[in-house]
Amino acid sequence: MPKDAAITRDRIVAAASRLFYGHGIRAVSVDDVAARAGLTKRTLYYHFRSKDDLIAAYLAARDEPTIVIVMGWMDAAKGSLADKLEAVFAQLARLGRHPKWRGCGFLRTAAELVTTPGHPALKAGAAHKKKLEAEFASRFADAGLADPEMRARQVMLLFDGAFSAMLTHRDASYAEAAGQAAMDLVRGEKMRAVKRRA
């Protein structure tokens, strides 16, 4: 039955996700993941060729859901674009206050795997961030903001900066400061001419 295989695979990815996110890639062994998934390492290696494959699957499984969550925050918020951005960063701060929060899985993986440039997990992480940036840009364009791509990029920089600072200081208020900056960047910018260099 191929369905069983898919179920087992998902269970392994779920176990890997919890452990890799909670403790880091290198800190977690394949044995740990197998034990957490309730099966032996040999079974895990039946479903995944290597630990690197498993890491890639871990991030791939986080891509779409993360984007849905963040854009859900934005679309659910009432008011102006600035208000919506404030809501996004307020929600990020709320996450950051959770005791099990460990920063951004994509950024932390990028930091850990920095020496293996072609790693599929790194590509997945970069693609994920690009997608999120594009979602912001699309909404900024709809709102009539000048230079939506650049503003989206700057908001992403604040977003990733908030992740880093919250992780460094264990202080979620950094996300709120980032939200204020994001608001300032999109406020009163609607019709301003694009006089910046490309």
Partner DNA sequence: TTGCGTACACTCACTAGTCAGTATACTTTG
Partner DNA sequence: CAAAGTATACTGACTAGTGAGTGTACGCAA
Which residues of the chain form contacts with DNA (CB under 7 A)? 1-5, 8, 28-32, 38-43, 45-47, 50-52
| Partner interacting with residue 65 (select from a second copy, DNA, none; CB below 5-8 Å by kind) | none
Check residue 29 and report its DSSP letter.
-
What distance in Å separates the CA atoms of residue 122 and residue 107, rounded to the nearest whole number? Answer: 9
Q: What minimum distance in Å lies between the beta carbon of 159 and a second copy?
A: 7
Beta strand residue intervals within 118-167, DSSP E: none
Min CB(35)–a second copy separation in Å: 17
* HEC assignment per residue over 79-119: CCHHHHHHHHHHHHHHHHCCCCCCCCHHHHHHHHCCCCCCC
Q: What residues line the site for a second copy (CB under 8 A)? A: 22-24, 26-27, 102-103, 106-108, 110-112, 114-115, 117, 122, 125-126, 129-130, 150, 153-154, 156-165, 167-170, 174, 177-178, 180-181, 184-185, 196
Residues 124, 59: contact at Cβ < 8 Å? yes
- Residue 112, phi-psi category: left (phi > 0), alpha (psi -120 to 50), beta (remainder): alpha
Residue 9 or 36 having the CB closest to a second copy? 36
**Minimum distance of DNA from residue 59's CB (angstroms):** 16
Q: At closest approach, how far in Å is the CB of 25 from DNA?
A: 8
Give me the least distance between CB of 70 and a second copy, in Å please.
15
Question: Which does residue 68 bind out of DNA, a second copy, none, counting CB within 5 to 8 angstroms by kind?
Answer: none
Who contacts 189 (Cβ-Cβ below 8 Å, separation ≥6)? 145, 146, 147, 151
Our CB check for DNA shows the closer of 33 and 93 to be 33
